[in-house]
Chain A
Amino acid sequence: MTAETATGTMADAPGRWTTRFKRVPVTLALAWAVVFIVLAWAALPSLFAGYSGTEGVPGEQLRPPSAEHVLGTDGLGRDVYARIVYGARHSLSGAFVAVTVGLILGTLLGLIAGARGGWIDAVIMRLVDSMLAVPSLLLSLSIIVLLGFGTINVAIAVGAVSIARFARLARSEVVRVRRSEYVEAAYGSGGTFWAVLYRHVLPNSLTSVIALAALQFGSAILAISTLGFLGYGAPPPTPEWGLLIAEGRNYLSRAWWLTAAPGLVVVLVVLSADRISKALGRTAP
């Protein structure tokens, strides 16, 4: 046994994990920081904002950023920073619903297609292909028209559009894993179809899918904001980020901070989700 331990070239692998944790790249740390701050906004907005997200202060309209109003005020005297903080809950929960819908339904479809193969695979994947053929904005708009307006409906629509992407990725991962020898070995040791699916195929295909979910989280925020901007989302007093940008549009020449501030937040969150997704994708064994 001693001879073999000597040839163990990867015997120090557990050590590498600890060093990996010690040296998280700066950009990744920043990305997580952004996400945590935004999550905290969504959880406890009153802790971060001194003003109400919906009630304006009379006589304080269109104030530029100052010590009192960090990001200025809008046309009704509402603090822009407070609106962004209160809006986090709407935008994030929307993105969360969207990603959950896409992740669960898409992965399920991909899993079935990849694991079963044959005509089931063909039918599912052609459906997915036709979903991808339609521009995503058009598809979400059609779904919203069917479901009706509102934050949750917008989220579901955005999520439904991403089902195709999840399904394709999940299928290709499942097919890859299914061909591996450890899956065959699991069948060979008497594993049933479902046992093998649950023990080996699902966990080994999920890494990339989770990475896509993080990426999709960013684009969902963007898509929801887009639909909010177009007026399909939450009704006006709601401080949803897309709506904030849309409302600011009328004052673009006089009050740049109305669009710039929420826009910047959206960009930062999307970029952070992107960065985290990249890091998650790398942890695949």
Chain B
Amino acid sequence: MTVTPILQVDDLAIAYKTGDREQRVVHGVSFSVAPGEVVALVGESGSGKTTTAQATLGLLAGNGRVESGTIRLNGTDITNWSQKRLDSIRGAVVSLIPQDPGSSLNPVRTIGSQLAEVLQIHKRGDRRAIHARVIELLERVGLTPAEMRARQYPHELSGGMKQRVLIAIAVALNPALIVADEPTSALDVTVQRRILDLIDELRRESGTAVLLVTHDLGVAADRADRLVVLQNGRIQEQGGVKEVLAAPRSAYTRRLLADAPSLGKPRPARPGIESQDFAIEVTGLTHDFTVTGGEAKSFRAVDNVSFKVRRGTTHAIVGESGSGKTTAIRSIVGFIKPTAGRILVDGVDLTTLKGEKLRQFRKHIQLVYQNPFGSLDPRQTIARIVEEPLLNFEPIPAADRARKVRDMLARVGLSESFLERHPRALSGGQRQRVAIARALVLDPRVLVLDEAVSALDVTVQAQILSLLDELQKTLGLTYLFVSHDLAVVRQISDTVSVMHKGRQVDGGPIETVFGRPDSAYTRELIDAIPGRSLPVPGVPVLAVPSENPPRLSP
């Protein structure tokens, strides 16, 4: 060994205590991070990647305990250091960029004072020197004008700006290692790209090593030098990014690679749709919100959006947070009345319906929510959840209802043993299957999917997407698929509308929009998608190759 690694983890085992049982979640994990190197810990939820990262900072949750193994920082074993002793190295030698910028800053203190805090704790100079350093750091992470930003409170900043503050705090003392725990998962893709570029840049300047914790293989492939793939607390494989991606040795990595949506992959062939009639026709959809507080102002969330969706096809609405896509689909499913515009679903103008007529119409168009943890009533059993829509319309005998519920669950791939279980006993993917079953039990013609796979791990996401594909083929459903993830959209949609600040900036067939985007924004969006370094699959992911060019040049 020529250089002492910054971080050396040997045979680490970590257990969490629940009740009076200890459950081991990390089993004998060993890896190292050399100076200036970016190592990505990749895995799905529950793989132990965050736990491992927290342990390297001595930040395990109260019920967590390092059972065995060692964590060496710059050659020093810190495994059994007290919290007080760890305080001296946290920030100075190793620092953290936390996952959620929204809740990682103190809302009642200015960002300048929060940035100064880390310098004060480690006694880096007097007040004047610290202030100068704060301004310098804010400028460094691109928060300008820095003097003004230093006086602002977290709520005055956007998510990306907050993440910049957290990065500034993390690099304030020039640590040798930065642990970045899903630093961009809560951010839009274009913001994600800028933040990751910033981390890259800071790293190159000061030679800091980065331990990047991520669920996104694309991000890891683009940004890391080496990959550590974790599953259920065990390392599946590790090695140089290029080697691992080019020739993954473990079956799990291969599956992750196959399931990760990426622009580099060939697009699955979509069945040719002969149908000429439109299931959804949206014309001039506009929605104003009145902003209360102070003088009444109105804010245009959706501005003159129009698109048509042929029966049996999938139309995607793509946009970042604040683009108005959620407002648009809430109008389309009839939860809010648009300010102007027409929404024809199956030839009926939804905007003219109200009361009982609207209620009756709801069986034709159903919505699947993003978060399967919030959209299912925790007190109901799965059987009750799927049955409920049937109770709202013409009475059906109980026996028929039960049969319908069982059929529908079978259709989404859940066995009868799920009938009497509660949502809390199900995984995220299983819950989303239940949500889809509930939406389909009324035999709707249009299914609106609001980021329906965004909260799921990639392998589960791939399963749900193939389920949706199969349901579309057998039931002739029309999908309106709302997503921020262009790679997913490209895989499953026929047509797309790109929304930006309430306006539709691009629209049309997928090939056209992705191949020759009209607007600069769409190009930026496509460029920002991580995963360019992912190999064009060496494993046969999808049987039918497409005539699409595998890589899109901007």
Contact = CB atoms under 8 A, between A and B. Distances in A.
A19 B21 CA distance: 11
B289 to A, nearest CB: 17
A10 B427 CA distance: 7
Contact of B374 (A10, A181, A187, A199): A181
Contacts, number: 103
B360 A19 contact: no
A204 B377 contact: yes
A190 B442 contact: yes
Given A188-B335, A285-B379, A11 B425 contact: yes
Contacts of B45: 7, 9
A199 B390 CA distance: 14
B392 A8 contact: no
A187 B334 CA distance: 10
Nearest to B421: A14
Given A7-B427, A7-B457, A11-B425, A188 B377 contact: no
A190 B424 contact: no
Contacts of B192: none
Nearest to B442: A189
B379 A19 contact: no
Contact of B376 (A10, A13, A182, A189): A182
A33 B459 CA distance: 51
Contact of A189 (B335, B374, B389, B460): B389
A181 B455 CA distance: 15
Contacts of B360: 190
Given A7-B45, A204-B379, A285-B378, A185 B430 contact: no
A interface majority secondary structure:
helix
Interface residues of B, number: 47
A3 B435 CA distance: 19
Interface string A180-203: 111011111111100100011001
A19 B44 CA distance: 29
Interface residues of A, number: 32
Contacts of B44: 7
A183 to B, nearest CB: 8
B335 A200 contact: no
Nearest to A23: B19
Contacts of B150: none
B409 to A, nearest CB: 12
A139 B232 CA distance: 61
Contacts of A199: 377, 380, 388
A193 to B, nearest CB: 10
Given A3-B459, A4-B430, A10 B424 contact: yes
A150 to B, nearest CB: 40
Contacts of B415: 1
B333 to A, nearest CB: 6
A285 B427 CA distance: 16
Interface in B386-411: 388-389, 391-393
Q: Is the interface of B mostly helix, strand, loop or mixed?
A: loop
Contact of B369 (A19, A181, A191): A181
A5 interface: yes
Contacts of B414: 1
Given A13-B424, A185-B375, A192 B460 contact: no
B413 interface: yes
A78 B263 CA distance: 90
A180 B438 CA distance: 17
Contact of B362 (A3, A180, A190, A285): A190
Interface in A175-231: 180-182, 184-192, 195, 199-200, 203-204
A20 to B, nearest CB: 9
Contact of B389 (A7, A182, A184, A190): A190
Given A4-B463, A203-B379, A190 B393 contact: yes
Given A9-B46, A204-B378, A191 B388 contact: yes
Contacts of A189: 362-363, 366, 388-389, 392, 438-439, 442
B392 A190 contact: yes
Which of B360, B379, B428, B463 lies at the interface centre, i.e. has the most chain A CB atoms within 10 A of its CB? B379
Nearest to A19: B19
B359 A1 contact: no
Contacts of A11: 425-427
A9 B427 contact: yes
A59 B475 CA distance: 91
A8 B426 contact: yes
Interface in B341-398: 359-360, 362-363, 366-367, 369, 371, 374-380, 388-389, 391-393
Nearest to B414: A1
Contact of B333 (A3, A5, A7, A188): A188
B80 to A, nearest CB: 29
Contacts of B380: 199
A4 B391 contact: no
A200 B377 contact: yes
A153 to B, nearest CB: 38
Contacts of B232: 6
22 contacts: A7-B45, A8-B425, A9-B427, A10-B424, A10-B427, A11-B425, A185-B367, A185-B376, A186-B377, A188-B362, A188-B367, A189-B366, A189-B388, A189-B389, A190-B359, A190-B362, A190-B363, A190-B442, A204-B377, A204-B379, A285-B379, A285-B424
Given A11-B427, A182-B376, 5 more contacts: A7-B427, A8-B430, A19-B19, A195-B392, A204-B378
Closest 3 CB pairs between A and B? A189-B389, A190-B392, A8-B427
